[in-house]
Amino acid sequence: MIEILRKRRSVRQFLDKEIEKEKIDILKEAVLRSPSSRGINPWEFIFVTDKELLEKLSKAKKHGSAFLKNAKLGVLVIADTRKSDVCIEDCSIAAITLQYVAESLGLGSCWAQIRLREHNDNISAEEYVRNLFVLPDYYLIECIIGIGYPKNKPQGHDYSTLQFEKIHTNGFKND
């Protein structure tokens, strides 16, 4: 697992190469195995492979979602807010689980935050996506993970750049 963490980086440019069904099936299994508070599993996932839908999702917010246009897969991470008071956290765990498994399969990925982001001056990114997929108001739309074969694979962060000053032991040290 540490090797996946060492090499994983956000990938926003993808090859024009379809993702094999077997790999998509593994990604589906991975998100369904994601831990959640008290095992409630309030999250749900919409796997999008349709090019037109991915194009529309690429316009979900003002900045930071354009890469979805060329992704071969977009995964909406959503949750029924009536089921849990910590669905944001549960969705976040599922989303990063998806990204780590994608990396392990030789795929690249990038997170597009949707919750609390603007689509334009009139509606939120969440409303835009909610309308696109006709989702009920009680569903939270945390993010969309764009996935595909990386066009360019950035190198992982060098060990020397890790911010060890952010690690505290047995208490908080405030300098």
| CATH code at position 145 | 3.40.109.10
Task: With a cut of 80, say whether residue 175 has pLDDT above it.
Answer: no
What is the extent of the structural domain holding 82? 2-166
Q: What is the pLDDT of residues 85-103, one digit of tens each?
A: 999 999 999 999 999 999 9
Residue 174 falls inside a structural domain: no
Task: With a cut of 90, say whether residue 173 has pLDDT above it.
Answer: no
Share of the chain above pLDDT 70, in %: 99
Those residues whose C-beta lies under 8 Å from the C-beta of residue 27, and which sit 6 or more positions away, are 47, 73, 75, 98, 101, 102, 105, 147
The first and second tokens of residue 16, run together, are: 């024009």
Residue 48 falls inside a structural domain: yes
Number of domains in the chain: 1
Rounded average pLDDT over 69-98: 98
Q: What is the pLDDT of residues 91-142, one digit of tens each?
A: 999 999 999 999 999 999 999 999 999 999 999 999 999 999 999 999 999 9
Residue 26 falls inside a structural domain: yes
- This prediction's pTM: 0.96
Residue 171 falls inside a structural domain: no
Residue 74 falls inside a structural domain: yes
Residue 172 falls inside a structural domain: no
Residue 175 falls inside a structural domain: no
Backbone phi, psi, residue 111, to 5°: -90, 130
Task: With a cut of 90, say whether residue 60 has pLDDT above it.
Answer: yes
Residue 147 falls inside a structural domain: yes
For residue 149, count other CB atoms closer than 10 A to its CB: 19
